[in-house]
């Protein structure tokens, strides 16, 4: 009997790639937001 069928392979595949997208995408969002925030802070500091 195929072991993979017991745990629903396509579902595990989807969760695996989904979590990879969440982790990589989440880090990308974090870097973009942090960059925007820091750039705004630096611009306001230089303007003073």
Residues lying near another protein in the complex (CB under 8 A) are found at: 2-5, 7, 9-10, 12-13, 15-17, 19-20, 23-24, 27-28, 31-32, 34-35, 38-39, 41-42, 45-46
Cα 32 from Cα 28, distance rounded (Å): 6
Q: How far is the CB of 15 from another protein (least distance, A)?
A: 6
Residue 7: CB minimum distance to another protein, A: 5
DSSP assignment of 21-33, as one string? HHHHHHHHHHHHH
Chain center to CA of 32: 11
């Amino acid at each position: 009997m195929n072991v993979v069928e017991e745990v629903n392979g396509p579902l595990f595949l989807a969760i695996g790639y989904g979590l990879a997208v969440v982790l990589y995408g989440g880090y990308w969002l974090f870097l973009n937001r942090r960059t925007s925030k820091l750039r705004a802070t630096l611009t306001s500091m230089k303007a003073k």
